[in-house]
Homo-oligomer: A and B are copies of this chain.
Amino acid sequence: MKPVSAEKVRVSDTFWTPYMELVRKVIVPYQWEVMNDRVEGVAKSHAVANVRIAAGLEEGEFYGFRFQDSDLAKWLEAAAWCLATERDPGLESLADGLIEDLGRAQWPDGYLNTYFTLKEKGKRWTCERDSHELYVAGHLIEAAVAYRRATGKTRFLDIMRANADHIDSIFGPQEGKLHGYPGHQVTEMALVGLYGETGEKRYLDLARYFIDERGRKPAFFELEAAARGQPDDKGYFRERMAEYNQTHLPVREQKKATGHAVRAVYMYSAMADLAALDGDAKLAEACRELWKDVTRRQMFVTGGIGQDESWEGFSEDYDLPNASTYNETCASIGLVFWAARMARLERKGDYFDVAERALHNGVLSGISLDGRKYFYVNLLESLPSVVAGTRDMNYASTTRKGWFPCACCPPNLARLIASIGGYIYSSSPGGRGSPPNVSVQLYIASEASLDIAGAALRIALRGDYPRSGRIGISVSPDRPACFSLRLRIPGWCAGFRLSLNGGDLNLAPVEGYVSILREWASGDSVDLELPMPVRRVAANPAVTADAGKVAIARGPVIYCLEEVDNGPNLADIVLAAEPRFSERFEEGLLGGVVAVYADAFRRGNGGAGPREAGEGGIQDRASELAAWGDDLYRDYEPFNTPLRIKAVPYYAWDNRGENEMLVWIRQG
């Protein structure tokens, strides 16, 4: 399976195109201003200045984290995908200028990292466990590949090939090289991508080496510490450090997702890449085990992952605390990367079910509708008064922020949204008894061109997903061609209707896809309807945090309650046993969304007596609490106040002022 890359897909979608426009017109320009420290009231970046200082173009001192350059890398990648969508000479010249500066900041031997150029000059390659040197390189390589594909220009790719060659001269199995691997993974998948773009097998070999070497004993990070003369330096998480950075076991023996979630899913992505490219069955099996652990035991209903704040990472199976979770935006983005790669490894609808779950919920929740504010941490339940006093509000904030001291998430969102077209289609020439095939993985209105079964195919997808599940697909090969068109039937969909050129097709999905195998001719059209009733979702009984609660869902979209619609104290709201759902597309609401209404009641406790419902059903919390006075506990004397609640898509919460929010609602 090979995805149809973003630059070959033209997206014209009611849902995604506005986001892509936002990236191009607002987010990329805004983030450029932030990284130039020209935006007031947000965390200082200094990322551009670091490069210009390292390039000798400015005086000054390095500022920021050791991985500050990676923000620029992700921004450049976002810019690249924007340029692939639409030419923009101003943006291209900004990007070209930055690329030139990066070239000037590069050492003659190919090394490129402003922190270790300016701040700790003599210390390169001495503490990869913490240094993020390979991490920064990885993101820059990914950006360079994207920039080459988007613009056809090679300068950036040349810079990063020289950098990759330098890394190849430092790391590897050969004597005299460091027998190591990245402290923060991403380099591995970047090198696979660089191999894909250049055909240079050395890069693939190095990626494979990094993956294979990881977890071997004696551990590289311990040898490195000894070489620094710090044999007792075990790192920030001490005895948990190896789990934190996934070096506790060889990757093929890892069955349970552990440690820092972004590191983990970036690594699993490379593992899936290599399993597919090498036909490595053992690596594929490890990927499947880890996939099961992450998505079946440690994933929120929003596609959020990494529930443990202490190390921004995984926890125990079924430990999914809604109010105290971490769910870094980057982790959900990484889950999409991984899912897409798992789908290349084997065709199972589940992979893009998860990708879609993350995209429509836990990824997009990371960004405000105006593109200028971001969540780093994605709570599923927010009570601002408590969160403010109990969490690190630099990251676990209850309202989005303009930037972060560690600003990994905002440009990561930008590059993913800008390249969303690359996740829609994939194709395979078939073989070994399997016909050539084209798969539709996400229902994003778009048009793509690809070669299949000897024909040049134009495939176009129409619809207004996820507002509705009515999808039209036109299939136009330049000459009749026999191949299978495979359409993902989402796991949330209880029944679907499929027709070909107006005639019903009665096909059963296999592994999440229906396959229409025939000789296709120009003008063929397929209609697919995925009914989208409002659903209530329950969690596995082992998830105690969700016991007695349901989440409201419609299609791939998970809903939430916000205080602005339902009044404060959302935890008091109980969904009726038969909640008579209604839905309404509201043009003016949150950029145009389907709002969901349902019967519910507020259950008061403790003899406070029934109260009047306020305007629009909003309770007056002050009077409710006043009735309790100073009492913390009272005998139980319940009373119910009926209420028609309004739920909105989770990804769009916190766009109407800071307020309470709740995904899992008590079910009466």
Contact = CB atoms under 8 A, between A and B. Distances in A.
Interface of A: 292, 295-297, 299, 301, 308, 315-319, 321, 323-324, 381, 383, 385-386, 388-390, 494, 535-544, 547-548, 550-551, 569, 571-572, 574, 603-606, 608, 621, 624-625, 628, 630-638, 666-667
A633 B386 contact: no
Contacts of A301: 633
Contacts of A547: 571-572, 666
A7 to B, nearest CB: 35
B630 A572 contact: no
B544 A383 contact: yes
A540 B632 contact: yes
Question: Shortest 8 CB-CB distances between A and B: which pairs?
Answer: A538-B605, A316-B389, A547-B571, A536-B636, A544-B571, A538-B636, A538-B606, A319-B386
A319 B636 contact: no
A628 B541 CA distance: 8
25 contacts: A296-B630, A301-B633, A316-B385, A316-B386, A317-B385, A319-B386, A319-B390, A324-B324, A536-B635, A537-B633, A538-B634, A538-B635, A538-B638, A539-B606, A540-B633, A541-B572, A541-B605, A541-B606, A542-B569, A542-B625, A544-B569, A544-B571, A547-B572, A548-B548, A550-B636
B389 A543 contact: no
Please give the count of copies of this chain that the complex contains. 2
A107 B56 CA distance: 65
A624 B547 CA distance: 14
Contact of A632 (B297, B548, B624, B633): B297
A554 to B, nearest CB: 12
Contacts of A296: 630-632
A537 B632 contact: no
Main secondary structure on A side of the interface with B: mixed
Contacts of A667: 636, 638
Contacts of A308: 390
A634 B535 CA distance: 10
Given A315-B389, A551-B633, 20 more contacts: A301-B633, A315-B390, A319-B386, A319-B390, A323-B544, A383-B544, A494-B635, A537-B633, A538-B605, A538-B634, A539-B605, A539-B606, A539-B633, A540-B632, A541-B604, A542-B569, A544-B569, A547-B666, A548-B548, A548-B574
A115 to B, nearest CB: 24
Most buried by B among A537, A630, A635: A635
A301 to B, nearest CB: 5
A624 B315 contact: no
A495 to B, nearest CB: 12
A638 B572 CA distance: 21
A632 B319 contact: no
A245 B667 CA distance: 42
A319 B537 CA distance: 27
A316 B544 CA distance: 23
Contacts of A638: 538, 667
Contacts of A630: 292, 296
Given A390-B315, A541-B625, A548-B548, A535 B571 contact: no
Contacts of A625: 540-542
A543 B538 CA distance: 23
B316 A543 contact: no
Most buried by B among A299, A389, A667: A389
B548 A633 contact: no
A647 to B, nearest CB: 14
Contacts of A390: 308, 315-316, 319
Nearest to A577: B638
Contact of A537 (B315, B608, B636): B636
A209 to B, nearest CB: 32
A158 B419 CA distance: 80
Nearest to A388: B316
Nearest to A603: B548
Contacts of A319: 386, 389-390
Nearest to A297: B632
Contacts of A494: 635
